A and B are shown apart, each in its own frame.
Chain A
Amino acid sequence: MKRTVALLMENQPGALSRVVGLFSQRGYNIESLIVAATEDPSLSRLTMTTTGDQKVIEQITKQLNKLIDVVKVLDLGESDYVERELLLVKFLHGSIQTEVIKELNGEIIFENNELFNIQFVGTSKELDQVLKDLESSNPLEIVRTGAFGISSNLKTLTI
């Protein structure tokens, strides 16, 4: 089962390596990982997607909470939340029709006479489908950010 876990941690050197290290140390998977500073500069928000059954996810959140640098952990899947991921794809001119891009809700964000870059936004699942649909057009390069999310109720990950 795929789960998205978000956490706030101290914005200081070493904090990220403790979080990442915990995963390899205890044999958990990280499918994707996003980190950025928050509006409070002393904190970073980290979002990761991982797989495991309920028991594993519970252990992951408990172990994350134990890290001194981790201030707060939220398993987003515990309640309703929205998830987004960004996908950038590079195509040579002529390899794809602009209609196809439009149909897939893609946006051309850069273009020259050789190639163009297209941006797609959606849930990870939607982007998986987009990539499938683009496969036959031979994209030159693909890059994904990994998913992040925010709960869609009054529960907030703040301190």
Chain B
Amino acid sequence: MRSLHEEGVDIVFGYPGGAALHIYDAIFNQQHIEHILVRHEQGAVHAADGYARSSGKPGVAIVTSGPGATNAITGLATAFMDSTPVVVISGQVKSNLIGTDSFQETDMIGISRPIVKHSFLVQRAEDIPSIIKKAFHIATTGRPGPVVIDVPKDLTDPEYKFDFDYPKDIDIRSYKPVKEGHFGQIKRAVKLLLGAKKPVIYSGGGVIQDDASSELTKLATLLDFPVTNTLMGLGAYPGTDQKFLGMLGMHGTYEANMAMHNCDLILAVGARFDDRITNNPDKFSLSAKKIHIDVDPASLSKIIDIDVPVVGSAKECLDQIIEELGVQSHKIDHDKLKPWHEEIGAWKEVHGLNHNLLDQKPTGGKILPQQVIQSLYKETKGEAFITSDVGQHQMFAAQYYFFDKPRRWINSGGLGTMGFGLPSAMGVQFAFPKSDVACVTGEGSIQMCIQELSTCLQYGLPIKIINLNNAALGMVKQWQDMNYGGRHSSSTYEDSLPDFVALAESYGHVGIKVKKHEDLESAMKECFALKDKLVFLDVDVDPNEHVYPMLEAGMSMEDMHLSKDIKTW
């Protein structure tokens, strides 16, 4: 605990148990660090993750051995796939019991190995300070990621005393992340940027992680380049800006995907050409030159061959490019890009997302899920922190809520973890106690970590849960509609859903049910007017709505379903 305090940690999320009892006693005996008792270890790691993503500071979770450790695994995998700085301290059975199948023993280091950036098994109590120092250094630098510290119970025994010395600096000979980009590569990149007639900036979560949003915006403005963001990158570039194309990829906007497919230059920053972006890599943006800036060398040319790879932090490299463009500013020619902007404008006009849905009375009687997001956007003026679970609601939120600032959109993009929304919202609310925090979820996802409603009561967290209730696992159902002849195998459960209003109330919160379109906006208003209360807004939405656009599997980025009847190919 002393090491965590020295490291600047002021909040940890956790759940006690046998092997962690010495640590919990130490928590009890100190005042610097607040411990938040969750209701399930998965919630602890997600909360730490939400705290990290929104604040930029590392999140910390403490769990016990055995089931405590295994329950933390989904949280670790979530953090790993989205490269977020989370440190998980797991209790372990006593050193002399390791390997004997003792009570609540599990090989945490082994189980977590593929889903952590690094892990430590503490072997001497004296090593705890330096291991904690290393763990935070590794978790937060380079490409961030989760780190596990597994501590056998005997090594936290207060009976054992040693001279405490928290290291100021740390040097790990095998770990030296590169910050600055290679100057030759920067110059090559600038040459391509200046020559492009149809460029696109494609930026991802790395820009947010590295706090490089202002540099990205500056560069896009300087060059007058259009920008698209990945699901993880939303908010890195202002969502309401004219040059913003929206999200790209599987459920990206028509204009973003068309621009990616038809451009002559892609500047990728802190993004990783994930399969949800590229669709078929063999058909991906064949006529474009590609520049890729990433702090992780293994991301470069992993899926798509890159013409100018640049290893370095997004912030540093963008700064270097901006500086070099300053030297060559006479070569910047905005006029050259006019036809390209016009082409993109035309795409937007034909098949852009309909952002004026809110006032339309739905023809089928049911509220459209997109309308709920638009109502949320209107009520919060685009200023709220939005966490989400995984599924259709996540995509609707990504499409219809415009994020002007980074770190406002918190979701599980890589692993796609249902159950992430509510606990991560807790982490966000702890980081920003005075801000509006909304968790956009579905009746499927919310039930995966619903026990955290109890944590929210204990700590008075006024989270707004916006439940898009379509009484089905919407995204699964959509795929079954599109690819499995409408056979809804195990994706519906409408007769067995709980009364969410009563459920919220039983946990001591406020529940509001919305069934009619005309009630939506007033209910949303009421929800956010209850400043000090957690409100569970349960909205019945049209169960037949699909998320569009949607890329057609195996094809290129311009091959999209735009509605149930319209395809682009």
Contacts and interface: CB of A to CB of B under 8 A. Distances in A.
Interface of A: 9-10, 13-14, 17-18, 21, 25, 55, 58-59, 62-63, 65-66, 68-72, 159
Contacts of B114: 21, 25
Contacts of B302: 59
A10 B121 CA distance: 14
Contacts of B119: 14
Given A25-B114, A59-B298, A10 B174 contact: yes
Given A55-B301, A59-B298, A14 B173 contact: no
A69 B138 CA distance: 12
Interface string B172-184: 1111000000000
Contacts, number: 37
17 contacts: A9-B174, A14-B119, A21-B113, A62-B298, A65-B298, A66-B296, A66-B297, A68-B118, A68-B138, A68-B172, A68-B174, A68-B175, A69-B118, A69-B174, A70-B174, A71-B174, A72-B174
A81 B118 CA distance: 32
Contacts of B196: none
Chief secondary structure at chain B's binding surface = mixed
Interface of B: 109-110, 113-114, 117-119, 121, 138, 172-175, 296-298, 301-302
A90 B17 CA distance: 55
Given A62-B298, A68-B138, A17 B174 contact: no
Contact of A159 (B173, B175, B301): B173
A25 B263 CA distance: 35
Contacts of B117: 68
Contacts of B110: 17
Nearest to A8: B174
Contacts of B298: 59, 62-63, 65-66
Contacts of A18: 113
A13 B121 contact: yes
A63 B114 CA distance: 12
A66 B121 CA distance: 19
Nearest to A63: B298
B17 to A, nearest CB: 23
Contacts of B301: 55, 58
B174 A14 contact: no
B191 to A, nearest CB: 25
A12 B484 CA distance: 51
B297 A62 contact: yes
A14 B109 contact: yes
Nearest to A9: B174
A40 to B, nearest CB: 11
Contacts of A59: 298, 302
A55 B301 CA distance: 8
Nearest to A64: B298
Contacts of B113: 17-18, 21
A102 B238 CA distance: 77
A22 to B, nearest CB: 8
Nearest to A72: B174
A38 to B, nearest CB: 14
B138 A14 contact: no
Nearest to A71: B174
B300 to A, nearest CB: 8
A59 to B, nearest CB: 6
Nearest to A70: B174
A30 B51 CA distance: 40
Contacts of A13: 121
Nearest to B138: A68
A83 B209 CA distance: 44
Contacts of A63: 298
B98 to A, nearest CB: 11
Contact of A65 (B118, B138, B172, B297): B297
B562 to A, nearest CB: 35
B134 to A, nearest CB: 9
